[in-house]
Structure 1
Amino acid sequence: MTLPVPKLDDLTWADLMAAVTRRIPAESDGTWTLHAPVDPGVTLLELFAYLLEQRLYWLDQAPDELVVAILKLLGLEPPRPAQAAATVLALRPESDVPAEVPEGTVFARDPAAAIRFSLDDDVTAFPVEGEAAVFTDRDRTADLRARRGVPLLASDGSAASARFTLPLTGAHTTTGWLSVFFELDSPVPPSWSPLAAPAAPPAELTWSWFRPSGDASGAFEEVEDGTGGLRRSGVVRLRPPADWSTVHNGLLVSTPAATYASPPRLLRLAVNVSAARHLEHRAVTGFTDQTDEWLKLPGQRLVLPDAAGRLLGAELRLADEEWESAVDFTFGTSRDRVFLLDRDEGALVFGDGLTGRIPRPEGETVVEYSIGGGRDGNGGVTGNWLPVTADSPVRAANLVQADGGADPETPARARDRAAGALGEVTRAVTAEDFVTLAVTTPGVAVGRAYAALGEHPGFPCARVPGAVTVHIVPSVPRDGADVVPAPVPDPGTVCAVAARLAKTRLLTAEVFVRAPAYRDVRLRVDLSGTPADRVKVSTVAGDALRRFLDPLVGGDDETGWPLGEALRPSALLRAAQQALGDLADVTAVAIGVDGADPAQTCDDVELRAGELPVVREVRTHVVPAVEPGEGLL
Structure 2
Amino acid sequence: MPLPAPPLDSRRYQQLVDELLARAPVHTPEWTNFNASDPGVTLVQLFAFLTESLLYRANQIPERNRAKFLSLLGVPLSPAVAAKGLATIANDRAALEVQALSKDMELRAGEVPFRTGQGLDVLPIETRVLLKRAVSEPTPELLDYYKLLYASYGGALPEDLALYETVAFDPAAGPADLSLTTDRSLWIAILGRKSDRVEGDDPWLPVRKALAGRTLSLGLAPATDVETRTLKPGGAAIAPADLLSFELPRVNSALAFDADGRPAPTYRRLETRADFDPLTQPGVIQIQLPDAGAIVSWRDLDPLESGVGDLPPAIEDGALADRLITWLRVRATGAALVRLRWIGVNATPIHQYETIVAERLAEGDGTIDQVRQLSHAPVLKGTVEVSSIEDGVERRWRVIDDLLAAGPEVAATGVEGVAGPVDVFAVDAEAGRVTFGDGLTGRRPAPGARLYASYGFSLGAEGNVAAGSIKGGPLLPAGFSATNPIATWGGADAEDTASGEKQVRRYLQHRDRLVTADDFVSIAWRTPGAAIGRIEVLPAWHPDLGQAGPGSAPGVVTLMAIPSADPDHPAAPRADRPFLDALCRYLDPRRLVTTELVLRGANYRGLWISIGVEVAGGASVAQTVEAVRKRIRAYLSPLPPTGAGVADLQGQLFGPAPDPALRGWPLGQAISARAILAEAARTPGVVSVADVLLAEGGRAATAGVEISGLDLPEILGLSVTAGDPISLESLRGDTGGVAPPTGPARLPVPIVAETC
In structure 2, what residue type is equivalent to 1:230?
L
In structure 2, what residue type is equivalent to 1:162?
S
2:354 aligns with one of 275, 279, 295: 279
Task: Name the structure 1 match of 2:170.
Answer: 144
Q: 1:78 to 1:368 in 2, by over 3 A?
A: same
Task: Name the structure 2 match of 1:624.
Answer: none
Question: How far 1:165 sits from its partner (Å)?
Answer: 0.8
RMSD, matched Cα: 7.1
1:500 aligns with one of 575, 582, 587: 587
Name the CA distance, whole Å, in 2 between partners of 1:493 and 1:407. Answer: 15
1:162 and 1:254 in contact (8 A); partners too = yes
Task: Name the structure 2 match of 1:88.
Answer: 87
Task: Name the structure 2 match of 1:224.
Answer: 274
Q: Which residues of 2 match residues 134-173 of structure 1 at below 5 A? A: 134-135=131-132, 141-144=167-170, 147-153=172-178, 161-169=184-192, 170-171=207-208, 172-173=210-211
Residues 198-236 of structure 1 show CA distances to partners (whole Å, capped at 9, x for unaligned) of: 99778873332232977553444343255x43335x332
Name the CA distance, whole Å, in 2 between partners of 1:199 and 1:164. Answer: 32
1:323 aligns with one of 397, 405, 408: 397
2:558 and 2:597 in contact (8 A); partners too = yes
2:80 and 2:459 in contact (8 A); partners too = no
Q: Which residues of 2 match residues 64-213 of structure 1 at below 5 A? A: 72-78=71-77, 80=79, 88-92=87-91, 94-106=94-106, 117-135=114-132, 141-144=167-170, 147-153=172-178, 161-169=184-192, 170-171=207-208, 172-173=210-211, 177-186=215-224, 205-211=243-249
1:418 aligns with one of 461, 484, 500: 500
Name the CA distance, whole Å, in 2 between partners of 1:108 and 1:488. Answer: 29
In structure 1, what residue type is equivalent to 2:279?
L
Name the CA distance, whole Å, in 1 between partners of 2:550 and 2:478. Answer: 69
Question: How far 1:385 sits from its partner (Å)?
Answer: 3.8
1:183 and 1:266 in contact (8 A); partners too = yes
Task: Name the structure 2 match of 1:251.
Answer: 329
Task: Name the structure 1 match of 2:730.
Answer: none
Q: 1:231 to 1:65 in 2, by over 3 A?
A: farther
Task: Name the structure 2 match of 1:534.
Answer: none
In structure 2, what residue type is equivalent to 1:500?
L
Name the CA distance, whole Å, in 2 between partners of 1:99 and 1:299. Answer: 48
Residues 497-534 of structure 1 show CA distances to partners (whole Å, capped at 9, x for unaligned) of: 699389467x9xx8555699xx9x9xxxxxxxxxxxxx
Question: How far 1:179 sits from its partner (Å)?
Answer: 1.6
Q: 1:246 to 1:294 in 2, by over 3 A?
A: same
1:118 and 1:276 in contact (8 A); partners too = yes
Q: 1:453 to 1:62 in 2, by over 3 A?
A: same
Q: 1:493 to 1:67 in 2, by over 3 A?
A: same
1:333 and 1:357 in contact (8 A); partners too = no
- Unpaired runs of 5+ residues, structure 2, are 135-163, 193-206, 227-234, 252-263, 297-325, 410-421, 569-573, 606-632, 640-663, 677-690, 714-756
SS in 2 for 1:387: coil
Question: How far 1:237 sits from its partner (Å)?
Answer: 1.9
Task: Name the structure 1 match of 2:480.
Answer: 395
2:86 and 2:347 in contact (8 A); partners too = no
Task: Name the structure 2 match of 1:620.
Answer: none
Q: 1:272 to 1:378 in 2, by over 3 A?
A: closer
Q: Which residues of 2 match residues 7-46 of structure 1 at below 5 A? A: 7-8=7-8, 10-16=10-16, 18-19=18-19, 33-34=29-30
Residues 388-430 of structure 1 show CA distances to partners (whole Å, capped at 9, x for unaligned) of: 6xxx566121225887899997xxx842342464588967677
Residues 470-519 of structure 1 show CA distances to partners (whole Å, capped at 9, x for unaligned) of: 4467989x9x9xxxxxx9999x97997699389467x9xx8555699xx9
Q: 1:435 to 1:332 in 2, by over 3 A?
A: closer
Name the CA distance, whole Å, in 2 between partners of 1:315 and 1:563. Answer: 51
SS in 2 for 1:167: strand
In structure 1, what residue type is equivalent to 2:335?
A
Percent of pairs identical after alignment? 20
Q: 1:253 to 1:433 in 2, by over 3 A?
A: farther
Residues 318-339 of structure 1 show CA distances to partners (whole Å, capped at 9, x for unaligned) of: 2342236899x9x999978678
Name the CA distance, whole Å, in 1 between partners of 2:84 and 2:582. Answer: 31
Name the CA distance, whole Å, in 1 between partners of 2:104 and 2:701. Answer: 68
Name the CA distance, whole Å, in 2 between partners of 1:167 and 1:385. Answer: 26
Q: 1:67 to 1:314 in 2, by over 3 A?
A: farther
Q: 1:466 to 1:44 in 2, by over 3 A?
A: farther
Alignment of 1:55 onto 2:51: no
What is the number of equivalent residue pairs in this alignment?
Answer: 507
TM-score norm. by structure 2 comes to: 0.47
TM-score norm. by structure 1 comes to: 0.54
1:89 and 1:275 in contact (8 A); partners too = no
Q: 1:19 to 1:47 in 2, by over 3 A?
A: same
SS in 1 for 2:126: coil
Q: 1:199 to 1:52 in 2, by over 3 A?
A: farther
SS in 2 for 1:209: strand
Name the CA distance, whole Å, in 1 between partners of 2:63 and 2:290. Answer: 58
Q: 1:212 to 1:277 in 2, by over 3 A?
A: farther
1:136 and 1:161 in contact (8 A); partners too = no
Name the CA distance, whole Å, in 1 between partners of 2:112 and 2:489. Answer: 14
Q: 1:18 to 1:424 in 2, by over 3 A?
A: same
